[in-house]
Chains A and B, each alone.
Chain A
Amino acid sequence: MFHRLFRRPQILASALAGVLLATAGSASAGQRKFAYSYETLTAPVGSVEFENWVTWKHTSGDGRADQFDFRHEFEFGVTDRLQIGLSVADWRLTDTSTGSRATYRHSGVEVIYNLTNPTTDFIGSALYGELLIGEGVIELEGKLLLQKNFGPVTLVYNAIIEAEWEGKTLKHLDERSGEFAQTLGVSYQVNPNFNVGAELLHEVALPEWRAEGKSVVFAGPNASFRAGRFFATVAGLFRVTDHDEEPDVQTRLIFGVDF
């Protein structure tokens, strides 16, 4: 499996850059409390953060498969309310009964604009937009982010709409699909460096943007840690609805550092 992976120079370079950047220098990390939900406060002006994501999805049964999705992203605080992220490389490692393969998926940009504060306003809110472009794929994603802080407890809700165009090349994007998703998260601050909580993910496929497709729900615990200027957030979600062809479990780890 891994010798195939390392034949891909762009993937190897991306992985090495991630390891080097994540282990070099000092930083002052903000801390993500959730792995599947975004919070509404944006990064401070002038800050730069580097995040590495890995999402593992395991499907059992006849269609047994393990899928690892990786993301390497820089985030910049542009103004008090605006944050921009650059996704250097999203890539996927798939392991099935017929073999393993690694594929580069896309790169892109995301923008988060904070509207209201989750502590002082009635409700915290922000808007999120993302554009991802790959060899034969374009993805657009929009999110409404809501958050409320109650002392040590943080509640978040994300509503997500996604559109995807796929084809052999960017000039021949003849397939289109969409998805509506919602996430709900709660996190309790045990101490300033450690939070625990739970997250829920609900996905509704919108094939051809017309009919409502499968509706799948995942739920499970999360935890986030901070050590100095580094942080890590992890969540393990279990499928709680039928649809055996969907993953039984998915786990996401985000490791971040500020520069």
Chain B
Amino acid sequence: MVGHFPRLLAGAALAVFASGCVGTVPPPVSPAMLRVSRGATAQTLEAGRITLTTRCASCHRVYPVAAYSPARWAEIVEEMAERTKLDASQQAALLAYLTAAHATPPPAPNPAG
């Protein structure tokens, strides 16, 4: 039993990680998101998304953008920016991404499945 343990453990780990495609992922920057971004560029929104999935995610889960209103997101970002040492541009990009993603309706399901 123990002799097989390395293979069992490695196999279990691979199986778990192979299911990674079902993880909760913040929506990627899209043309629809740009239309509601109040002038923010795609680069700015992408920078905000990267901040969300690296700086924020290093301490806690990534919450769905729909979990809070834009006003509440603004409060949260301001509160957390000091703790995570985000500079003004990073803070602005993060808030721009959260606001734009919140205002963007999720894509319709593909009828082809």
User: Which of A's residues lie within 8 Å of B, judged by CB?
Assistant: 28-31, 39, 41, 43-44, 46-47, 80, 117-120, 122-123, 146, 148-152, 154-155, 157, 159, 180, 182, 184, 189, 192, 200, 202, 204, 215, 217, 226, 228-229, 241-242
Write the nearest CB–CB distance from B72 to chain A, whole angstroms.
14
| CB <8 Å contact, A30 and B59 | yes
Our count of residue pairs bridging A and B at CB distance below 8 angstroms stands at: 98
Question: How long is the Cα–Cα vector from A153 to B10 in the complex, in angstroms?
Answer: 20
Closest to A120 in B: B53
Question: How long is the Cα–Cα vector from A150 to B23 in the complex, in angstroms?
Answer: 5
| CB <8 Å contact, B85 and A28 | yes
Question: How long is the Cα–Cα vector from A149 to B22 in the complex, in angstroms?
Answer: 10
| CB <8 Å contact, B22 and A119 | no
Contact of A202 with B5 at beta-carbon distance under 8 Å, contacts A118-B57, A119-B26 already known: yes
Q: Which of A41, A119, A155, A217 contacts B5 (CB 8 A)?
A: A217
| CB <8 Å contact, B9 and A184 | yes
| CB <8 Å contact, B83 and A28 | yes
B112 at the interface (CB under 8 A from A): no
| CB <8 Å contact, A119 and B16 | no
| CB <8 Å contact, A44 and B53 | no
Question: How long is the Cα–Cα vector from A119 to B61 in the complex, in angstroms?
Answer: 9
B84 at the interface (CB under 8 A from A): yes
Chain B 69-111 near chain A by CB (<8 Å), digits 1 or 0: 0000000000000111100000000000000000000000000
| CB <8 Å contact, B6 and A241 | no
Among all A-B residue pairs, the 8 with the closest Cβ atoms? A157-B13, A192-B60, A41-B58, A151-B24, A148-B20, A119-B53, A28-B83, A31-B59
Contact of A119 with B57 at beta-carbon distance under 8 Å, contacts A148-B23, A150-B24 already known: yes
Closest to A180 in B: B6
| CB <8 Å contact, B83 and A41 | no
| CB <8 Å contact, B57 and A41 | yes
| CB <8 Å contact, A123 and B54 | no
User: Which of B's residues lie within 8 Å of A, judged by CB?
Assistant: 2-3, 5-6, 9-10, 12-13, 16-17, 19-26, 49, 53-55, 57-62, 82-85
Q: Which of B3, B24, B53 contacts A215 (CB 8 A)?
A: B3
Contact of A204 with B20 at beta-carbon distance under 8 Å, contacts A120-B25, A152-B61 already known: no
| CB <8 Å contact, A229 and B59 | no
Assuming A46-B85, A148-B16, what are 16 further A-B pairs, CB within 8 angstroms?
A41-B54, A43-B58, A120-B25, A120-B53, A146-B17, A149-B57, A149-B61, A150-B22, A151-B62, A159-B10, A182-B9, A184-B13, A192-B60, A192-B61, A215-B6, A242-B2
Instruction: Tell me which residues across on chain B come within 8 A of A200, comparing CB atoms.
Output: 9
Question: How long is the Cα–Cα vector from A72 to B9 in the complex, in angstroms?
Answer: 31
Question: How long is the Cα–Cα vector from A152 to B58 in the complex, in angstroms?
Answer: 12
Question: How long is the Cα–Cα vector from A119 to B60 in the complex, in angstroms?
Answer: 11
Write the nearest CB–CB distance from A252 to chain B, whole angstroms.
19
Closest to B56 in A: A119
Contact of A202 with B9 at beta-carbon distance under 8 Å, contacts A41-B54, A149-B62 already known: yes
Question: How long is the Cα–Cα vector from A61 to B31 in the complex, in angstroms?
Answer: 67
Write the nearest CB–CB distance from A192 to chain B, whole angstroms.
4
Contact of A189 with B61 at beta-carbon distance under 8 Å, contacts A180-B6, A241-B2 already known: yes
Contact of A28 with B84 at beta-carbon distance under 8 Å, contacts A123-B17, A184-B12, A226-B59 already known: yes
| CB <8 Å contact, A30 and B58 | yes
Instruction: Tell me which residues across on chain B come within 8 A of A241, comparing CB atoms.
Output: 2
